[in-house]
Structure 1
Amino acid sequence: MEYGRDAAGLLRALIALDTVAAGEGAAAELTAGVLEDAGLATRMVGWQQGREQVVATTPEGDDIPPLTFTGHLDTVPADARDWHGDPWRPEADGDHLVGRGASDMKSGVAAFLVALRAHRDRPHRCRGVQVVLTAGEETGCEGAARIPAELLRGGGWLVVGEPTANCVVPAHKGALWLRLRARGVSAHGSAPELGRNAVVALARAAVALHDAPGWPRSDGFGTVTANVGRMSGGTQPNVVPDAAELLLDLRTVPGAGPAELRARVREIAGPEVEIADLVDLPLVSTPLDSPLIGAARTVLRAAGLDDEPSAPARFFTDASVLAHTLGAAGTVVLGPGEPAQCHVVDEWCSLTRLEQAVDVYGRLLDSWCAPSSDLLDLG
């Protein structure tokens, strides 16, 4: 099967590769083959063994900043015991293709690769396109942060194929992940009063953080959210635990920076809890009157789809890293996946939306390369 011309086939092949925080190299090899067939200069970018990434550029257009498409190849875990089928054996259920990564975000990758292949087949003067496929996005954009800037063509516009149900999303929240640690004093489990229980101390902090009112809010972006994502501590039931750890996920909004949020967590958790950063990713926001947002809306209208911009996404994307590395003039998040299907059991993507995205991306590429393109105004 020639995956470069079949978005559903390419999506199936990508889903079949288990890329849960590992194994992205196999997906990178598959997608690199599609990009090479489309005539792009393609290189595998090492990070960890088996977790290679892809940077590909057209040979033309190196005199101006490119239009860059990006997507991640990794997924969150899936427990097959909870699914109706094998998460890595894609199955069609009517218009839905079910499998881990179907919406988040292998459908976006499949759609823009197939659109790019068709775009390259159409005779035209190409103004330059770049594709960046990453590993480790789900664990804090680790892979994108490790792509050397000198391997990328800077500037231009950035299109992120994350799940938006083919709606224009001009912005997304940032993320601040914190590690909280409590220290206690061990003792025999039959005499807990002789020790100091670190798990209990941190559990109180966890509940307080979960229930805390009054997190900062910003118009459009909504409220900062706080999620206690993981907690661990202790060794066995008959030992008072002397250490415990909690991982906290904060989603940030304009006007609520990391320093303010760390201080708020410190106030809630108490002075004896140690706090350290794990991930600090900035939010992304592009003005609605930018040429990129205008072009995205125009091609959606031409494809018969709703062009109204959506509210900022609650999730982060690799744009938190790549927009800065590239010096991008602006970013749009636009992809066929369903936002509500991210990280859920029996995750699916609409095959109709997948084909719509191929059409939309193709129109956007054609708009970019049109002689009178508004996208050439980079501000």
Structure 2
Amino acid sequence: MTDTLLTSAREILATLIAFDTTSRNSNLALIAWVEDYLEQHGVASTRVVNADASKANLYATVGPNIEGGVILSGHSDVVPVDGQDWHSDPWTVDERNGLLHGRGTCDMKGFIALALAAVPLFKNGEKPVHLAFSYDEEIGCLGAPAMIEEMAAKLPKPALAIIGEPTMMKVITGHKGITVHEVEVLGHEAHSSLPHLGISANMVAVELMHDLAELARGLWENADPASPFIPPHATLTIGTMAGGTAPNILARRAQFVFDLRCPPNVDPEAILAPFKAKIAALNGEMAQAFPEAGVSITRLSNAPPMAPTGSQEAEAFVRRLTGDNGSSGVVSYAAEAGQFQQAGFATVICGPGSIEQAHQPNEYLAVEQFGRGADFMLRLAEALSRQ
């Protein structure tokens, strides 16, 4: 039975990888393929689209539409391959030395392929499996909330949600949250030899980025030694920055984006309050000199953490399926699990592959891990058929 499921999952994985669902692109071609696949198995599905209908989440119930089911969730988008040194076509699954290379094999189309391959088995269960596939997870978990809200309102209450991020099939019960902010500085252009006649947006941006660097250092120095996370503290990094026109012109505009990742019970707004207060003060000072000048800060995303205080029963159920008898784990990356938990679902993270492979050139999912994922789906189908 495992071999049959694996064969089907390998074929599905190859199809999913061939869709370039980098977050900047639409994922509708992949969603349409999944819809058609489910329809062939007699399973109806529901789209939840974004504002301009260029992207979509998809959820579906496999089996009876009753309470006590299990959500299997994964994101359909992947990160870019731009500038990375790939040794094979990233949009083709290439097996080398027991490793399945391709963008998204690990993060996280491998899990989605396994869940879809198991649909014929889930159809015979006494309890349902709810498939939930999202968009734009990689740019701040933006897509899933609308789908989660609809599922919470319309589905008979599931017993738990399993988010299939790569964990080496270990059970994870907590993750950090993430907020992403963009800071834009508008200055006043002048000749660089006459800085008193203008405001360099770059110079202001550098000062603000220095403040964030000092804030990040303070978070590290005041880390809670009892925290289970690695690193134990909230982390702040600046991901992108741009500004200026020429070396001899005071920059009119500068922009940078930073992310703040907080463990549960750490408030990102409290951390950023002094920084936002400085921005407000700078706005007043700059506008007095030049009305068009100033600083703005915009929150681009805000995904909550998952607290390791969920349902022990749900965690124990997943442990029985994986054979994972170790202690509960937590991860420092952000995921959609916190959003499911916030909506009232008992939630764990468990999926094949290592997060260390995610976002890397030559990303891979080990065949051994793919096999363990297949075993997990078979055991889940068996468990749901007994209830």
Deviations 1:26-52 (A, max 9, x none): 111222233334442223333344423
Matched, 1:260 2:270: yes
Aligned with residue 331 of structure 2, among 283, 301, 313: 313
Distance verdict in 2 for CA 1:268–1:148, change over 3 Å:
same
Percent identity at matched positions?
28
SS of equivalent residue, structure 1 residue 223 = coil
Which deviates more, 217-226 or 170-179? 217-226
Deviation at 1:238, TM superposition (A): 3.4
CA contact (8 A) 1:199 1:234 kept: yes
Which deviates more, 145-154 or 230-239? 145-154
CA contact (8 A) 1:127 1:369 kept: yes
Q: 1:333, 1:101 → 2: CA distance?
A: 17
**Structure 2 equivalent of residue 355 of structure 1:** 371
Matched, 1:51 2:55: yes
Matched, 1:287 2:290: no
AA paired with 2:218? Answer: G
Q: 1:33, 1:115 → 2: CA distance?
A: 16
AA paired with 2:325? Answer: D
**Structure 1 equivalent of residue 386 of structure 2:** 370
Q: 1:30, 1:323 → 2: CA distance?
A: 29
What are the equivalent positions in structure 2 for 1:43-192 lying under 5 Å apart? 43-47=46-50, 48-58=52-62, 60-62=64-66, 64-79=67-82, 82-120=85-123, 123-124=124-125, 126-147=126-147, 149-150=149-150, 152-153=154-155, 155-156=157-158, 157-192=160-195
Which deviates more, 283-292 or 161-170? 283-292
Deviation at 1:364, TM superposition (A): 2.6
CA contact (8 A) 2:337 2:348 kept: no
AA paired with 1:345? Answer: P
Q: 1:289, 1:137 → 2: CA distance?
A: 24
Deviations 1:252-281 (A, max 9, x none): 112311321222544787942543322111
**Structure 1 equivalent of residue 13 of structure 2:** 11
AA paired with 1:161? Answer: G
AA paired with 2:377? Answer: Y
Matched, 1:232 2:274: no
Q: 2:19, 2:329 → 1: CA distance?
A: 32
Deviation at 1:289, TM superposition (A): 6.2
TM-score (norm 2): 0.84
Distance verdict in 2 for CA 1:270–1:17, change over 3 Å:
same
TM-score (norm 1): 0.86
Deviation at 1:186, TM superposition (A): 1.5
Q: 1:346, 1:5 → 2: CA distance?
A: 22
Deviations 1:215-262 (A, max 9, x none): 164522321011101112223333211322211111111231132122
CA contact (8 A) 2:211 2:275 kept: no
Q: 1:300, 1:58 → 2: CA distance?
A: 21
AA paired with 2:314? Answer: L
AA paired with 1:357? Answer: G
Q: 2:381, 2:115 → 1: CA distance?
A: 10
Distance verdict in 2 for CA 1:259–1:50, change over 3 Å:
closer
Deviation at 1:190, TM superposition (A): 4.2
Distance verdict in 2 for CA 1:97–1:207, change over 3 Å:
farther
Q: 1:179, 1:223 → 2: CA distance?
A: 22
Deviations 1:187-222 (A, max 9, x none): 123434532211122123324423532316452232
**Structure 2 equivalent of residue 376 of structure 1:** none
SS of equivalent residue, structure 1 residue 6 = helix
Q: 1:310, 1:82 → 2: CA distance?
A: 36
AA paired with 2:340? Answer: L
Deviation at 1:292, TM superposition (A): 1.2
Deviations 1:346-375 (A, max 9, x none): 11111210121121132134324423xxxx
Q: 1:7, 1:135 → 2: CA distance?
A: 21
**Structure 1 equivalent of residue 228 of structure 2:** 220
Q: 1:235, 1:334 → 2: CA distance?
A: 47
CA contact (8 A) 1:179 1:247 kept: yes
Deviations 1:296-319 (A, max 9, x none): 111222xxxx43245312122223
- C-alpha RMSD over aligned residues: 2.6
**Structure 1 residue runs without a partner (length 5+):** 372-379
CA contact (8 A) 1:168 1:307 kept: no
Q: 2:131, 2:163 → 1: CA distance?
A: 10
**Structure 2 equivalent of residue 324 of structure 1:** 342
In the TM superposition, structure 1's runs of 4+ consecutive aligned residues that sit over 4 Å from their partners are 2-5, 267-271
**Structure 2 residue runs without a partner (length 5+):** 283-294
Distance verdict in 2 for CA 1:23–1:191, change over 3 Å:
same
SS of equivalent residue, structure 1 residue 27 = helix
Q: 2:274, 2:368 → 1: CA distance?
A: 45
